């Protein structure tokens, strides 16, 4: 043993440093909740399974090739760790393979990426400097010796057995027997598999899901239709067709959270216009962000399909060609003209491919806007000139229309020109938190402008407006500073609560019925609500959500990471809370809700992965 250590010191040094770094970085960056000593042991040893194999393979090489091999391996693995650490700062998630095919979007993301990189990230690479130095300057101090397969069979076998045992150990379920499964919770996967083995699992998912359409059968769809029938809730008949034949305007409020509507800065409301609008609208204050890695586009997918987005990648990118029963297409049949306004490149999120399939007739993308240095900031054209420049197209449009406006100014990293500050920034240690509120305030002003322009154009009275926050704004990595602003400690329960996004449905002429509705729901429920209000047939669609105005509505929302909210409990990351008080409960109290959440995501995923809508049978709905 001693001799082995001596002969392979360079390899053992690289291996130990990489192991240590993986455990420390994973623990510090991925917000893992470790509640049991065995979980801690599994978490600490699991990166070894992969590292042992990868580093011991180096011993097969000639000594002169070994050092560069170990150095390159350490560099590659450090880069994987670092890329994930940076990604996690904004997305609280791990990079999956389908995200890599979205790298075409990266050019537009440059403003966001620079904001995420910190000077002290150099720490990630310090050990590589040390390894590189000894490799070049002091090679004799740390020997690398070849261990041929024939002579060292026993050693390689031992490595394989040890790695296999570690992987098996990761499969051990720790904690209470009644723990729900965790298939949608990537943080749980990292905890039990380790970051490197996670990628093997991801490759496995990539291929198995890719093959799913070929093996799918009509029966798969029948089972899902049966499930949907069991959970079906009748829409509210009193609201049926209340907005029939009206124009429909959908406004995606970039990164606007419900929390923002409830705040003031130095006595000034953050969203004075939305707050005023709420008084005359149906306002849903318990809607949850159900987007996945495809963020804005995932929400567009939900709003137009009432299917959940996928857990991996943006569904607009990964499955642009599946069969769907989308809302705009149903509206086309009723004589609607369907358009989208968004001042970003047409190919971003593959929108140019997906929009026609959703039933949009026209996409007013970047080319339709006059974008200059003066009228743009951050991600591009500012929301107010965006509205101004969209209106002439609206005024010329045949009616009724279904028009989606995607705002952009309130996008991370929340840059704003001085003249667009209507309120002061917040005063916390985080510039992101500070800048977020004035940026939301600016978007609020753009929405006011939209309403004014609709009134001036004489279109207001005959238009139903739907405004929603597309997803969270402030990432978890800023929760300490956000907590100081909100004056509360942000525990996992509060983290889920901060995932609320506003939903406002404003129907001119229905101000009398206006109310704030506290039912728990999410983006998935928008389409069924609109289908009812517009007097369309429910039976023509496979919808996972339900009418938000339904009398018998069940309070329920599942987030894409598997967290679930009902009127009774909040389940998140293997923890269970009382929905009202936020008090922690026994995990068993959440099992039913968590399993229901898993079913919803699982069935919806099956439809997309298997392209099951091919087998949709209207008769059975």
Annotated binding site for substrate: 411
Decide: is 523 part of the binding site for ligand GP9 (CB under 6 A): no
In terms of CB distance, is 470 or 598 closer to ligand GP9? Answer: 470
In terms of CB distance, is 256 or 307 closer to Mn ion? Answer: 256
Strand partners of residue 510: none
Measured between alpha carbons, how far is 510 from 26 in angstroms, rounded to an integer?
52
Q: In the bound complex, what is the minimum distance in angstroms from residue 295's beta carbon to ligand GP9? A: 3
Measured between alpha carbons, how far is 340 from 206 in angstroms, rounded to an integer?
31
Return the DSSP state at 264.
E
Beta carbons of 568 and 582 less than 8 angstroms apart: no
Decide: is 363 part of the binding site for ligand GP9 (CB under 6 A): no
Measured between alpha carbons, how far is 587 from 570 in angstroms, rounded to an integer?
10
In terms of CB distance, is 254 or 494 closer to ligand GP9? Answer: 254
Which of Mn ion, ligand GP9, none does residue 406 bind (CB under 5 to 8 Å by kind)?
Answer: ligand GP9
Q: How many Cβ atoms are within 10 Å of 90's Cβ, its own excluded?
A: 20
Residue from 197, 271, 286, 296 touching ligand GP9 (CB under 6 A): that is 296
Measured between alpha carbons, how far is 600 from 184 in angstroms, rounded to an integer?
11
Q: Which of 575, 608, 583 is nearest to 185 (CA)?
A: 575
What is the phi-psi region of residue 578: left when phi exceeds 0, alpha when psi lies from -120 to 50, beta otherwise? beta
Which of ligand GP9, Mn ion, none does residue 394 bind (CB under 5 to 8 Å by kind)?
Answer: none
Among residues 296, 299, 404, 407, which one is catalytic?
296
Decide: is 295 part of the binding site for ligand GP9 (CB under 6 A): yes
Which of Mn ion, ligand GP9, none does residue 21 bind (CB under 5 to 8 Å by kind)?
Answer: none
Q: In the bound complex, what is the minimum distance in angstroms from residue 55's beta carbon to Mn ion? A: 41
In terms of CB distance, is 195 or 358 closer to ligand GP9? Answer: 358
Number of helices and strands in the chain (H, E):
23, 19
Q: In the bound complex, what is the minimum distance in angstroms from residue 125's beta carbon to ligand GP9? A: 28
347-351, long-range: CB within 8 Å, 24+ apart, which pairs? 347/104, 348/105, 348/108, 349/102, 349/105, 349/294, 349/296, 349/297, 349/314, 349/316, 349/317, 350/297, 350/314, 350/316, 350/317, 350/320, 351/297, 351/316
Could you tell me how many residues of this chain bind Mn ion (CB under 5 A)? 4
Q: In the bound complex, what is the minimum distance in angstroms from residue 545's beta carbon to ligand GP9? A: 21
Helix (H) or strand (E) holding 248: strand 247-253
In terms of CB distance, is 254 or 574 closer to ligand GP9? Answer: 254
Residue from 8, 242, 312, 411 touching ligand GP9 (CB under 6 A): that is 411
DSSP states of 315-369: HHHH-TTS----HHHHHHHTT-EEEEE--S-TTGGGHHHHHHHHT-SEEE-GGGS
Decide: is 296 part of the binding site for Mn ion (CB under 5 A): yes
Measured between alpha carbons, how far is 305 from 524 in angstroms, rounded to an integer?
8
Decide: is 293 part of the binding site for ligand GP9 (CB under 6 A): no
Q: In the bound complex, what is the minimum distance in angstroms from residue 349's beta carbon to ligand GP9? A: 6
Measured between alpha carbons, how far is 561 from 559 in angstroms, rounded to an integer?
5
Q: In the bound complex, what is the minimum distance in angstroms from residue 346's beta carbon to ligand GP9? A: 10
Residue from 71, 341, 348, 436 touching ligand GP9 (CB under 6 A): that is 348
Touching Mn ion, residues 238-257 (CB under 5 A):
254
Measured between alpha carbons, how far is 351 from 341 in angstroms, rounded to an integer?
11
Q: In the bound complex, what is the minimum distance in angstroms from residue 404's beta carbon to ligand GP9? A: 11
Touching ligand GP9, residues 205-234 (CB under 6 A):
none
Annotated binding-site ranges? 254, 296, 411, 470-471
Is residue 296 annotated as part of the catalytic site, yes or no?
A: yes
Decide: is 105 part of the binding site for Mn ion (CB under 5 A): no
Decide: is 74 part of the binding site for ligand GP9 (CB under 6 A): no
Q: Which of 466, 503, 346, 477 is nearest to 412 (CA)?
A: 477
Q: Which stretch binds ligand GP9 (CB under 6 A): 16-24, 170-178, 201-209, 343-351?
A: 343-351
Measured between alpha carbons, how far is 42 from 62 in angstroms, rounded to an integer?
34
Decide: is 344 part of the binding site for ligand GP9 (CB under 6 A): yes
In terms of CB distance, is 348 or 544 closer to Mn ion? Answer: 348
Measured between alpha carbons, how far is 135 from 558 in angstroms, rounded to an integer?
51
Decide: is 290 part of the binding site for Mn ion (CB under 5 A): no
Which of Mn ion, ligand GP9, none does residue 191 bind (CB under 5 to 8 Å by kind)?
Answer: none
Helix (H) or strand (E) holding 601: helix 591-610
Q: How many Cβ atoms are within 10 Å of 279's Cβ, its own excluded?
A: 11
| Neighbour-count burial of 125, counting CB atoms closer than 10 A to its CB (0-12 exposed, 13-18 middle, 19+ buried) | middle
In terms of CB distance, is 225 or 344 closer to Mn ion? Answer: 344
Helix (H) or strand (E) holding 419: none
Helices (H), 351-430: 351-358, 383-395
Q: Which stretch binds ligand GP9 (CB under 6 A): 327-335, 404-412, 425-433, 479-487?
A: 404-412
Integer Rg of the chain from CA: 26
In terms of CB distance, is 34 or 475 closer to ligand GP9? Answer: 475
Which of Mn ion, ligand GP9, none does residue 56 bind (CB under 5 to 8 Å by kind)?
Answer: none
Annotated binding-site ranges for Mn(2+)? 254, 296, 470-471
Measured between alpha carbons, how far is 298 from 316 in angstroms, rounded to an integer?
7
Site string for Mn ion, 440-479 (x = CB under 5 A): ------------------------------x---------
Helix (H) or strand (E) holding 282: strand 282-284
Cα 175 versus chain centre, distance: 28
Q: In the bound complex, what is the minimum distance in angstroms from residue 413's beta carbon to Mn ion? A: 13
Which of Mn ion, ligand GP9, none does residue 287 bind (CB under 5 to 8 Å by kind)?
Answer: none
Touching Mn ion, residues 162-201 (CB under 5 A):
none
In terms of CB distance, is 375 or 410 closer to ligand GP9? Answer: 410
Which spans of this chain sit near ligand GP9 (rule: CB under 6 A)?
295-296, 344, 348-349, 406, 408, 411
Which spans of this chain sit near Mn ion (rule: CB under 5 A)?
254, 295-296, 470
Q: Cite the active site residues.
A: 296
């Amino acid at each position: 043993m001693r001799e082995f250590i001596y002969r392979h010191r360079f390899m053992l040094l690289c291996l130990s440093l990489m192991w240590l770094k993986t455990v420390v970085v994973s623990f510090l960056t991925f917000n893992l909740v470790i509640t049991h000593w065995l979980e801690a042991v599994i978490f600490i040893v699991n990166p070894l399974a992969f590292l042992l194999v990868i580093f011991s393979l180096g011993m097969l090489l000639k000594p002169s090739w070994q050092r560069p091999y170990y150095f390159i391996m350490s560099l590659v693995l450090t880069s994987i760790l670092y890329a994930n650490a940076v990604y996690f700062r904004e997305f609280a998630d791990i990079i999956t393979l389908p995200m890599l095919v979205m790298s075409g979007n990266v050019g537009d993301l440059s403003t966001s990426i620079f904001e995420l990189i910190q000077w002290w990230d150099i720490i990630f690479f310090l050990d590589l400097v040390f390894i590189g130095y000894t490799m070049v300057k002091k090679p004799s101090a740390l020997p690398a010796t070849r261990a041929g397969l024939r002579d060292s069979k026993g050693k390689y076998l031992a490595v394989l057995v040890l790695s296999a045992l570690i992987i098996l150990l990761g499969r051990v379920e720790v904690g209470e027997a009644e723990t729900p499964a965790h298939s949608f919770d990537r943080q749980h996967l990292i905890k039990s598999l380790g970051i490197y083995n996670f990628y093997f699992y991801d490759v496995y998912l990539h291929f198995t899901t890719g093959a799913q359409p070929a093996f799918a059968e009509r029966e798969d769809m029948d089972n899902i239709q049966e499930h949907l029938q069991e959970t079906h809730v009748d829409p509210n008949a009193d609201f049926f067709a209340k907005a029939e034949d009206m124009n429909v305007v959908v406004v995606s409020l970039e990164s606007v959270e419900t929390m923002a509507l409830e705040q003031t800065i130095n006595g000034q409301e953050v969203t004075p216009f939305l707050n005023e609008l709420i008084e005359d609208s149906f306002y849903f204050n318990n809607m949850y962000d159900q987007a996945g890695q495809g963020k804005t586009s995932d929400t567009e997918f939900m709003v137009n399909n009432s299917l959940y987005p996928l857990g991996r990648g943006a569904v607009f990118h990964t499955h642009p060609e599946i069969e769907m029963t989308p809302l705009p297409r149903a509206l086309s049949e009723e004589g609607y003209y369907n358009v989208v306004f968004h001042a970003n490149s047409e190919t971003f999120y593959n929108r140019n491919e997906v929009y026609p399939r959703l039933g949009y007739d026209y996409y007013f993308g970047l080319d339709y806007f006059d974008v200059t240095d003066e009228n743009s900031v951050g991600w591009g054209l500012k929301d107010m000139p965006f509205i101004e420049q969209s209106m002439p197209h609206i005024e010329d449009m045949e009616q009724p229309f279904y028009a989606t406006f995607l705002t952009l100014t309130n996008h991370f990293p929340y840059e704003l020109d001085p003249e667009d500050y209507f309120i002061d920034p917040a005063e916390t240690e985080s510039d992101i938190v500070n800048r977020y509120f004035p940026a939301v305030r600016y978007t609020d002003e753009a929405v006011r402008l939209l309403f004014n322009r609709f009134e001036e154009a004489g279109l207001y009275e005959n238009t139903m407006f739907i405004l929603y926050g597309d997803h969270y704004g402030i990432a978890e990595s800023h929760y300490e500073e956000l907590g100081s602003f909100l004056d509360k400690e942000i525990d996992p329960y509060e983290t889920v609560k901060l995932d609320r996004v506003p939903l406002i449905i404003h129907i001119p002429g229905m101000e009398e019925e206006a109310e704030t509705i506290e039912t728990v729901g999410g983006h998935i429920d928008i389409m069924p609500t609109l289908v009812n209000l517009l007097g369309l047939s429910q039976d023509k669609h496979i919808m996972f959500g339900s009418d938000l105005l339904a009398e018998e509505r069940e309070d329920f929302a599942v987030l894409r990471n598997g967290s679930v909210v009902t009127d009774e409990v909040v389940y998140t990351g293997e923890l269970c809370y009382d929905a009202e008080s936020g008090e922690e409960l026994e995990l068993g109290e959440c099992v039913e809700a968590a399993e229901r959440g898993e079913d919803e995501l699982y069935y919806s995923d099956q439809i997309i992965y298997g392209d099951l809508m091919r087998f949709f049978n209207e008769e059975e709905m």
